[in-house]
Amino acid sequence: MDSFRRQGMEFDVRDAGPADGEPVVLLHGFPQDRTAYDRMAPVLHGAGLRTLAPDQRGYSPGARPTGRGAYRLRETAQDVLALLDAAGLESAHVVGHDWGGIVGWALGAWYPERLRSLTALSVPHPAAMAKAMVTSDQALRSYYMALFQLPVVPERLVLAGNGAALAKMLRNGGLPREAVAHYVQRMQEPGALTAALNWYRALPYGARDGVGRVSVPTLHVWSTEDAFLGRAATEATRQYVTGPYRLEVLEGVTHWIPELAAERTGELVVAHVRSTT
């Protein structure tokens, strides 16, 4: 399959690997797209796993609804369920990075019957994140989330200099030049950046969409050089997982785990999947 539909919208998806392999859904974050897993997916395919990597809501040109309410976590999580239904899958393993990881945590809490396992890259459980905001330096690390609540201004800042500001931020994080160019180009598509920022602007809906404890087998991968997500929330995450849980720490890696630690992370995911099947 190369696309699926929900609520009149069309989502692009890359379906690759052995068709009869254990299915693994790969969810990207901001400002990435499904290509974030291009380096990691072959590791999974080599282990006999099938991957489905969608361009999430706001990132697929055919799925850019207007208004921040359309990007609340309940909607983005149900997009993944629609993907599973379209693929004829009752359940799948889910790997999520950044915002994709937050969607993964929500799926694990709200729809555990649809997840065979969860791998959260970088992001802690949302409740651990909320706690760390008032007990550590996490609020300082997350200052941009408040900035993104403003109308218009973030778009101008992020794409200042024809995208030069965004490109500099991504390069400073160690992303390869070709990935930087690709992500910047995608964010310059009509409506793309506003749609991507609406994920952040929908955060006020979070009080209604609380993410509870997760019972599915969970692998949490965090990197020591992540400028956005600190150790406090990472270490607090364990208390919000009631099922099997494992934390892996990648030394010297920045936030962009799927691109910069693709082989090691792929190996961790393969081992996690095998341990739950």
Domain chopping of the chain, boundaries = 3-275
Q: What is the pLDDT of residue 117?
A: 98
- Among 98, 182, 183, 240, the one annotated catalytic: 98
H-run or E-run covering 81: helix 73-86
**Whose CA is closest to 81, among 107, 58, 56?**
107
Identity (one letter) of the amino acid at 147?
A: L
Q: What is the pLDDT of residue 209?
A: 79
Profile the chain (277 residues) by mean pLDDT over runs of 10 residues. Answer: 96 97 98 98 98 98 95 97 98 98 98 98 96 92 89 91 93 95 97 97 83 97 96 96 97 97 98 94
Tokens 């052995």: give the residue. 18
Tokens of 117: 């396992």
Read off the pTM. 0.97
For the sheet containing 92-97, what is the strand order? Answer: 3-6, 9-16, 50-54, 23-27, 92-97, 115-121, 218-223, 245-250
Q: What is the pLDDT of residue 208?
A: 74
- Residue 33 bears catalytic tag: no
Bridge partners, 118 (sequence order): 94, 218
Q: What is the pLDDT of residue 177?
A: 94
- Residue 98 bears catalytic tag: yes
- Residue 183 bears catalytic tag: no
- Among 93, 125, 220, 255, the one annotated catalytic: 255
3-275, which class in CATH? alpha beta
- Among 200, 220, 240, 272, the one annotated catalytic: 200
Q: What is the pLDDT of residue 86?
A: 98
